[in-house]
Amino acid sequence: MPFISGKGLTAGLRFLLAFWAARLTALACRLFGYPGTSLPGVVALRLYPGVVGFLASSYERVLAVTGTNGKTTTANLLAHFLRRAGLRVAHNAEGANMLPGVAAALIRDCDRLGRPRSRVAVLEVDEGSVGRVFPAAKPGIVVVTNYFRDQLDRYWELERTTGLLRSTLDGLPGAALILNADDPLVAAVGRGRAEVRYYGVNREEESCDAGDCAAKTAGGTNGSGSVVAGETREGRYCTSCGTELVYRYFHYGQLGDYSCPGCGFQRPDPDLAASCVEEGEHLDFTVQVLQRGSERASIRQESGTGAPSGSGNLPAGATLHFTAPLRGFYNVYNILAAAAAASALGVSLDAVRKSLLDYKPATGRMEEFTLGGRPCTLALIKNPAGVNQVLKTILATGTAKSLVLAINDLAADGRDVSWLWDADFAGLADGQVKKIVCSGLRAADMAVCLKYAGVPPERLLLVPGRAESLRALAEQEGEELFVLATYTNLFDYAGLLRRMGKGGGRSAPQDLPSLS
């Protein structure tokens, strides 16, 4: 077998042993009804720790997506764009984003002889696992979404997480980076790198013809650009000199237009920028290809991936109107990140725009169901910044609603639930919210937090069980219903909603929640 023999006889034999053990493990998982998105990888890594590197070296391009929020949606969007462009893509779509999950996804892409079927691999990578996954997979393109405090018992503080990314990338000097220009913690990673592309959202009154555009989408600011109460702002200080950053405006959290008065560090000019964002049942916005700075080299497009030749770039200043079947201002960033990465492989932005129309969100990413004859939306919550953006999205509808808040504290959720007190739940005291059902292992903690946030106690119900909480939700007032759940609740709620109501046909199939 040339594929095996070209990599050394000993390594080839170890790989085959690990490969077939993993395949048998996956078969056993299916027979016993276990999802098995990571266990085959655990078995393969035990027998051959180098299995990820062995397989990853066979792909023409390996792309990795990491960060705190938005990894799953960004990676799924990217894989969707590439497939619509005619590429076959290996992807850990199930969201198992640590080393065993990556190993399992690559093994699943192989034929019976252990040869990868795809030419491109898109890997979602847990931000705490980049130190293990990146050296093994050696991605040629790395997409970074954002950094917020998340699961402090797993990741500690942000300095450690961002430091891990920087030190890991030092070992991959040839990797091209696609970075969020609006997050100073992410943009700082690009300093001193040869190949960097930035994406961001421009302040609307500076980039739209409509004078009232800013009022529609100031995700984390008021009209003057000051921080809205309750916003979680990370990275207040320059990572180079420690001086407090000065902002012209914010979108949400620390995302916005910043500069350092101490050393001159500032928001890079984005290569791909969104503006004129309008939110509702779907997103509408303009994407503009901006003139690149003279000091930044563009990402090289390599032939052989099968993407349409020469179709990736539009001339500077070109604009396209995007419509996306997604809700939430934060998803504009996910779309931009995926579009920039697809463009780096030669997929035209026009092709991205068209393929976006039939994208289906992953489980728990504002996934739509019907419960009790009313629309019911399932969303993942896991940290203060994410909660704030989800709450803004659902409260923006202005209609009467009831919801379930399901909070667990298992290992995948994070044992420390003190983050609940940093989220801005005060908006749930609004009269449009008729009832809140608190569920999960930490249902009582959630209820106490809501009480201190100003939610009247008579609007709270304590129902720890999942099925019971949905039955209670179905009995409440409201034109629409919502279920906001942490990781270990998410897929159980999705299964229950499919059985108790009916799926809305707006999600892609998955088996396990991702750590994203």
Do 107 and 242 fall within a single domain?
A: no
| 28-61 pLDDT per residue, tens | 988 888 877 899 999 999 999 999 999 999 999 9
Q: What is the mean pLDDT of residues 230-242?
A: 81
Residue 67 backbone class (left: φ over 0; alpha: ψ -120 to 50; beta: rest)? left
- pLDDT category at 76 given cuts 50, 70, 90 is very high
Instruction: Note whether residue 211 is domain-resident.
Output: yes
CA angle 215, 339, 363 (to 5 degrees): 80
Separation of alpha carbons 478 and 411, rounded Å = 34
- Taking the CA of residue 358 as centre, how many other CA atoms within 13 Å lie in the half-sphere pointing to its CB? 7
Q: What is the pLDDT of residue 300?
A: 47
Look up the CATH number of the domain holding residue 153: 3.40.1190.10
Q: What percent of the chain has pLDDT over 70?
A: 83
Contact 61, 302 (CB under 8 A): yes
Residue 193 lies in a domain: no
271 and 375 together in one domain: no
- Of the residues 155, 186, 217, the one at which a domain ends: 186
Same domain, 93 and 161: yes
Do 303 and 396 reside in the same domain of the chain?
no
Kindly report the CATH number assigned to the domain that includes residue 476.
3.90.190.20
**68-82, 140-154, 207-221, 367-381, range with the lowest pLDDT:** 207-221
Residues 144 and 275 occupy one common structural domain: no
Query: Is residue 218 predicted with pLDDT exceeding 50?
Result: no
Tell me, yes or no, whether 130 and 100 share the same domain.
yes
Domain shared by 379 and 499, yes or no? yes
- What is the average per-residue pLDDT within 78-94? 94
Question: 356, 386, 420: which is the final residue of a domain?
Answer: 356
- Pair 182, 216 in one domain: no
SS3 of 102-158: the string is HHHHHHHCECCCCCECCCEEEEECCCCCHHHHHHHHCCCEEEECCCCCCCHHHHCCH
Sign (positive or negative) of CA dihedral 210, 212, 213, 216: negative
The amino acid sitting at 480 is: E
Residue 419, burial from CB neighbour count under 10 angstroms (0-12, 13-18, 19+): buried
Is residue 263 scored above 90 in pLDDT? yes
pLDDT digits (tens, 9 = 90+) for 368-405: 899 989 999 999 998 888 898 899 888 988 899 999 99
- Residue 290: what pLDDT? 82
Q: Are residues 379 and 491 in the same domain?
A: yes
Counting the structural domains of the chain, the total is 3
**pTM score:** 0.83
Of 391, 400, 398, the C-alpha closest to 425 is: 391
Same domain, 387 and 352: no
Would you say residue 316 has pLDDT above 80?
A: no
Residues 192, 169: Cα–Cα separation, whole Å: 11
User: Residue 140 has what pLDDT?
Assistant: 97
Choose the final residue of a domain: 186, 210, 228.
186
Would you say residue 88 has pLDDT above 70? yes
Do 67 and 207 reside in the same domain of the chain?
no
Q: Are residues 157 and 291 in the same domain?
A: no
Band (155; pLDDT cuts 50, 70, 90): low
Domain housing 211: 198-356
